[in-house]
Amino acid sequence: PVAQQIPEKTVDSVCPYCGVGCQLSYQVKDNTIISVEGRDGPANHQRLCVKGRYGFDYAQHPQRLRTPLIRRADAPKRSDMQMDPERIMDIFREATWDEALALAAGKLKSLRDTHGKASLAGFGSAKGSNEEAYLFQKLVRIGFGTNNVDHCTRLCHASSVAALLEGIGSGAVSNPVMDVDKAEVIIVIGANPTVNHPVGATWIKNAVKNGAKLIVCDPRRSDMARMAHRFLQFHPDTDVAMLNAMMHVIIEEDLLDHEFIKARTTGFEAIKENVKTYTPEAMAPICGIPAETLREVARLYATSKGSMILWGMGVSQHIHGTDNVRCLIALALMTGQIGKPGAGLHPLRGQNNVQGASDAGLIPMMFPDYQRVVTPGVTAKFELAWKLAPGTLDTKPGLTVVEVMHAIQHGDIRGMYIMGENPAMSDPDVNHARDSLSKLEHLVVQDIFFTETAYYADVILPASAFPEKTGSFTNTDRTVQLGRQAIDPPGDAKQDLWIIQQMGHGLGLDWNYQHVSEVFEEMRHTMPSIAGISWKRLENEGAVTYPCLHEEDMGQAVVFTENFPTADGRAKFVAADLIHAAEKPDSEYPMVLITGRQLEHWHTGSMTRRASVLDAIEPDPIASIHADDLAKLGGKPGDLITLESRRGQVSLYARVDNSSPRGAVFVPFCYYEAAINRLTNAALDPFGKIPEFKYCAIKIHLGGTP
User: Nearer to ligand SF4 by C-beta: 20 or 543?
Assistant: 20
| Min dist. Cβ of residue 495 to ligand SF4 (A) | 22
User: Nearer to ligand SF4 by C-beta: 21 or 661?
Assistant: 21
User: Nearer to ligand SF4 by C-beta: 222 or 274?
Assistant: 222
Supply the DSSP string of 451-500, one letter for each residue.
-TTGGG-SEEEE---GGGS-EEEE-TTSEEEEE---SPPSTT---HHHHH
| Min dist. Cβ of residue 158 to ligand SF4 (A) | 21
User: Nearer to ligand SF4 by C-beta: 304 or 608?
Assistant: 608
| Min dist. Cβ of residue 47 to ligand SF4 (A) | 7
- CA distances to 61, 353, 446, 447, 461 from 494, rounded to whole Å, are 16, 20, 10, 10, 8
Binder to ligand SF4 among 11, 20, 424, 578 (CB under 6 A)? 20
- CA distances to 161, 192, 248, 309, 313 from 306, rounded to whole Å, are 23, 22, 20, 10, 24
- For residues 319 and 581, what is the distance between their CA atoms, to the nearest angstrom? 6
Binder to ligand SF4 among 11, 13, 15, 624 (CB under 6 A)? 15
| Min dist. Cβ of residue 618 to ligand SF4 (A) | 15
Q: Is residue 18 part of the contact set for ligand SF4 (CB under 6 A)?
A: yes
- CA distances to 144, 264, 405 from 409, rounded to whole Å, are 20, 47, 7
User: Nearer to ligand SF4 by C-beta: 37 or 90?
Assistant: 37
- For residues 191 and 348, what is the distance between their CA atoms, to the nearest angstrom? 8
Q: Judged by CB under 6 A, which stretch of 18-26, 443-451, 562-570, 645-653 contacts ligand SF4? A: 18-26
Phi and psi at 135, nearest 5°, equal: -70, -35
Q: Judged by CB under 6 A, which stretch of 57-65, 196-204, 420-428, 641-649 contacts ligand SF4? A: 196-204
Q: Which residue spans within 20-91 are E strands per DSSP?
A: 23-29, 32-38, 69-71
Q: Is residue 416 part of the contact set for ligand SF4 (CB under 6 A)?
A: no
Q: Judged by CB under 6 A, which stretch of 42-50, 104-112, 123-131, 490-498 contacts ligand SF4? A: 42-50
How many residues of this chain bind ligand SF4 (CB under 6 A)? 14
| Min dist. Cβ of residue 539 to ligand SF4 (A) | 21
Q: Judged by CB under 6 A, which stretch of 14-22, 88-96, 606-614, 679-687 contacts ligand SF4? A: 14-22
Q: Judged by CB under 6 A, which stretch of 13-21, 339-347, 365-373, 576-584 contacts ligand SF4? A: 13-21
Nearest to 592 by CA among 158, 238, 223: 238
Within positions 639 to 678, which residues make up the interface with ligand SF4, using CB under 6 A?
Answer: none
Q: Judged by CB under 6 A, which stretch of 83-91, 193-201, 332-340, 642-650 contacts ligand SF4? A: 193-201
Binder to ligand SF4 among 122, 169, 198, 314 (CB under 6 A)? 198
The answer to whether the beta carbons of residues 38 and 52 sit under 8 Å apart is yes
Nearest to 198 by CA among 50, 29, 79, 45: 50
Q: Judged by CB under 6 A, which stretch of 159-167, 192-200, 279-287, 504-512 contacts ligand SF4? A: 192-200
CA 143 from centroid of its chain's CA atoms: 26
Order of strands across the sheet that contains 32-38: 9-14, 23-29, 32-38
- For residues 466 and 469, what is the distance between their CA atoms, to the nearest angstrom? 6
DSSP 3-state percent helix, strand, coil across the chain (nearest 5): 40, 20, 45
- For residues 291 and 232, what is the distance between their CA atoms, to the nearest angstrom? 11
User: Nearer to ligand SF4 by C-beta: 68 or 198?
Assistant: 198
Q: Judged by CB under 6 A, which stretch of 16-24, 225-233, 266-274, 459-467 contacts ligand SF4? A: 16-24
User: Nearer to ligand SF4 by C-beta: 17 or 695?
Assistant: 17
218-244 burial by CB neighbour count: b if 16+ within 10 A, else e? bbbbbebbebbebbbbbbbbbbbbbbb
- For residues 345 and 565, what is the distance between their CA atoms, to the nearest angstrom? 15
- CA distances to 19, 399, 535, 612 from 472, rounded to whole Å, are 13, 27, 9, 27
User: Nearer to ligand SF4 by C-beta: 49 or 59?
Assistant: 49
User: Nearer to ligand SF4 by C-beta: 52 or 169?
Assistant: 52
User: Nearer to ligand SF4 by C-beta: 199 or 243?
Assistant: 199
- For residues 375 and 282, what is the distance between their CA atoms, to the nearest angstrom? 43
| Min dist. Cβ of residue 15 to ligand SF4 (A) | 3
User: Nearer to ligand SF4 by C-beta: 195 or 405?
Assistant: 195
Which value, in Å, is the radius of gyration of the alpha carbons in the chain? 24
Phi and psi at 248, nearest 5°, equal: -55, -45
Q: Judged by CB under 6 A, which stretch of 144-152, 191-199, 251-259, 578-586 contacts ligand SF4? A: 191-199
Phi and psi at 321, nearest 5°, equal: -60, -45
Q: Is residue 314 part of the contact set for ligand SF4 (CB under 6 A)?
A: no
- For residues 199 and 498, what is the distance between their CA atoms, to the nearest angstrom? 33
**Residue type at position 225:** A
Within positions 43 to 82, which residues make up the interface with ligand SF4, using CB under 6 A?
Answer: 44, 48-49, 51-52
Q: Is residue 203 part of the contact set for ligand SF4 (CB under 6 A)?
A: no
User: Residue of minimal CB distance from ligand SF4?
Assistant: 52
Q: Judged by CB under 6 A, which stretch of 41-49, 133-141, 209-217, 559-567 contacts ligand SF4? A: 41-49
User: Nearer to ligand SF4 by C-beta: 15 or 454?
Assistant: 15
| Min dist. Cβ of residue 410 to ligand SF4 (A) | 39
User: Nearer to ligand SF4 by C-beta: 168 or 614?
Assistant: 614
- CA distances to 217, 444, 484, 524 from 150, rounded to whole Å, are 31, 15, 26, 21
| Min dist. Cβ of residue 190 to ligand SF4 (A) | 18
User: Nearer to ligand SF4 by C-beta: 13 or 265?
Assistant: 13
- Sign of the C-alpha dihedral computed for residues 110, 116, 117 and 122 taken in this order: negative
The answer to whether the beta carbons of residues 418 and 443 sit under 8 Å apart is yes
| Min dist. Cβ of residue 49 to ligand SF4 (A) | 3
| Min dist. Cβ of residue 188 to ligand SF4 (A) | 15
- For residues 188 and 313, what is the distance between their CA atoms, to the nearest angstrom? 11
User: Nearer to ligand SF4 by C-beta: 585 or 668?
Assistant: 668
Binder to ligand SF4 among 11, 22, 328, 461 (CB under 6 A)? 22
User: Nearer to ligand SF4 by C-beta: 601 or 689?
Assistant: 601
User: Nearer to ligand SF4 by C-beta: 335 or 352?
Assistant: 352
| Min dist. Cβ of residue 51 to ligand SF4 (A) | 4
Helix H, strand E, coil C: the string for 125-171 is: CCCCCHHHHHHHHHHHHHHHCCCCEECCHHHHCHHHHHHHHHHHCCC
| Min dist. Cβ of residue 195 to ligand SF4 (A) | 10
Q: Which helix (H) or strand (E) element contains residue 631?
A: helix 627-633
Binder to ligand SF4 among 139, 187, 199, 676 (CB under 6 A)? 199
| Chain length of the chain | 706
Q: Is residue 17 part of the contact set for ligand SF4 (CB under 6 A)?
A: yes
- For residues 157 and 159, what is the distance between their CA atoms, to the nearest angstrom? 5
Residue ranges that bind ligand SF4, judged by CB under 6 A: 15, 17-18, 20-22, 44, 48-49, 51-52, 197-199
